[in-house]
């Protein structure tokens, strides 16, 4: 008897039911679930190039198909009612589409559930300044940002704009009004989204796509003259993150950037996931700017900041 072909919806349902971290679709092996640092095949039939392409393209709309054909890589998110949202990363390997899917829960975890350091929360009432969240891929930094934004949403009236690439968590208006804009879908580019943001009366801006020097400049501008600015940066720890911010600029500009960073930084957080057998434990590295930290930032004495870093055990949550 001919075996029934699995649909992408069925594979995503397996990802959700198994509480795995990733679904991997590639040629030459069955669809794979990554769970507890192990790989578990779904079925025993390796995917052909045609099957892999059909599965992956089945989730794309016409706009996304054109984006993928043009760039041969695509990040986007979508939701399935009754299950969860999913983050998809699609790319080409040896001429064939491959994909990795990750679960994004519909419900944003609270700061308490994440075990986040409570002393950073009062700073979310500031009218300007820079909050940095950094970490390695998969460290939970997107969830940390979402939880901080939702904390503001629950506790004060604020007009919040997020610029994301892609949108992951979906916010619901509570005490705040939250506008979410996705680069490449709601706006042509990061630059076009950010250009007139200071003319909108915004209270909080959250940027998840700060990859280059120009975007860092925009973030510093917003934090210093406009409103509270929360940004995501990729780095392994806070010290390297701060150093990388400065070294992205030409040597002739670095002194000025260090001054701007010292003047605008409120706090930096670096979450890290510690894998357990049944739970994911989150540990935080924390740096809160004060009169001791500011001169070190201004002088670029990043190594001396290590003595002011604090590590907190954070929370734990059952693996998804």
Is the model's pLDDT at 320 over the cut of 50? no
Is the model's pLDDT at 279 over the cut of 70? no
CB contact set of 294 (below 8 Å; sequence gap of 6+): 262, 263
CA distance 305 to 296: 7
Is the model's pLDDT at 1 over the cut of 50? no
Kindly report the backbone phi and psi dihedral angles of residue 107, in degrees, each rounded to the nearest multiple of 5, phi listed first: -90, 130
153-165 tens-digit pLDDT: 999 999 999 999 9
Tokens of 11: 């594979």
Is the model's pLDDT at 58 over the cut of 90? yes
Predicted local distance difference test score (pLDDT) of residue 319 = 39
Predicted local distance difference test score (pLDDT) of residue 318 = 41
298-308 tens-digit pLDDT: 999 999 999 99
> For the chain, how big is the Rg over CA atoms in Å?
21
80-91 tens-digit pLDDT: 998 999 999 999
| Preceding peptide of 166 cis, ω within 30° | yes
**Placement of tokens 């979410």 in the chain:** 180
Neighbours of 72 (CB within 10 A): 12
Q: How far apart are the first and last CA of the chain?
A: 35
pLDDT over 70 percentage in the chain: 95
More confident residue, 224 or 277: 224
Q: What is the mean pLDDT of residues 65-69?
A: 92
- The 8-class DSSP code of residue 104 comes to E
Q: What is the mean pLDDT of residues 66-73?
A: 92
CA distance 143 to 150: 10
Q: Are strands 73-80 and 84-93 parallel, antiparallel or unpaired?
A: antiparallel
8-47 tens-digit pLDDT: 999 999 999 999 989 999 999 999 999 878 999 999 999 9
- The 8-class DSSP code of residue 301 comes to -
Is the model's pLDDT at 316 over the cut of 60? no
103-151 tens-digit pLDDT: 999 999 999 999 999 999 999 999 999 999 999 988 899 999 999 999 9
Where are the alpha helices (H) located in the chain, listed in sequence order? Answer: 8-17, 49-57, 62-71, 141-155, 190-194, 213-225, 238-247, 251-264, 293-299
Domains in the chain, CATH or no CATH each = 8-104 (3.30.450.90), 118-318 (3.40.50.300)
CA distance 117 to 269: 9
CB of 204 closer than 8 Å to CB of 230: yes
Where are the alpha helices (H) located in 248-287, listed in sequence order? Answer: 251-264
CB of 46 closer than 8 Å to CB of 28: yes
Predicted local distance difference test score (pLDDT) of residue 103 = 93
Q: What is the mean pLDDT of residues 203-212?
A: 93
CB of 256 closer than 8 Å to CB of 265: no
**Placement of tokens 């996931």 in the chain:** 273
């Amino acid at each position: 008897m001919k075996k029934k072909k699995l649909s992408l919806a069925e594979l995503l349902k397996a990802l959700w039911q198994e509480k795995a971290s990733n679904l991997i679709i590639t040629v030459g092996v069955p669809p794979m679930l990554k769970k507890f640092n192990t790989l578990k095949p779904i079925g025993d039939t390796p995917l052909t190039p045609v099957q892999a392409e059909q599965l992956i393209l089945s989730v794309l709309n016409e706009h996304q198909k054109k984006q993928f054909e043009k760039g041969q890589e695509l990040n986007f998110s979508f939701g399935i009612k009754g299950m969860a949202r999913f983050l998809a990363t699609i790319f080409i390997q040896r001429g064939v589409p491959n994909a990795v899917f990750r679960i994004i829960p519909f419900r944003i975890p609270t700061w308490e559930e994440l075990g986040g350091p409570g002393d950073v929360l009062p700073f979310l009432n500031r009218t300007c300044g820079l909050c940095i969240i950094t970490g390695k891929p998969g460290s939970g930094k997107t969830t940390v940002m979402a939880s901080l934004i939702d904390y503001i949403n629950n506790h004060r009236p604020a007009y919040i704009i997020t610029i994301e690439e892609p949108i992951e968590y979906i916010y619901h208006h509570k005490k705040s009004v939250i506008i979410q804009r996705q680069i490449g879908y709601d706006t042509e580019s990061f630059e076009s989204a950010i250009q007139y943001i200071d003319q909108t009366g915004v209270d909080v801006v959250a940027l998840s796509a700060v990859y280059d020097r120009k975007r860092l400049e925009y973030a510093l501008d917003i934090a210093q003259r406009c409103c509270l600015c929360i940004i995501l940066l990729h780095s392994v720890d806070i010290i390297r993150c701060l150093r990388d911010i400065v070294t992205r600029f030409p040597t002739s500009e670095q002194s000025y950037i260090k001054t701007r960073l010292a003047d605008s930084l409120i706090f930096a957080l670096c979450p890290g996931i510690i894998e357990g057998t049944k739970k994911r434990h989150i540990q935080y590295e924390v740096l809160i700017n004060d009169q001791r930290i500011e001169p070190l930032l201004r002088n670029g004495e990043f190594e001396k900041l290590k003595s002011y870093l604090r590590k907190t055990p954070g929370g734990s949550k059952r693996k998804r």
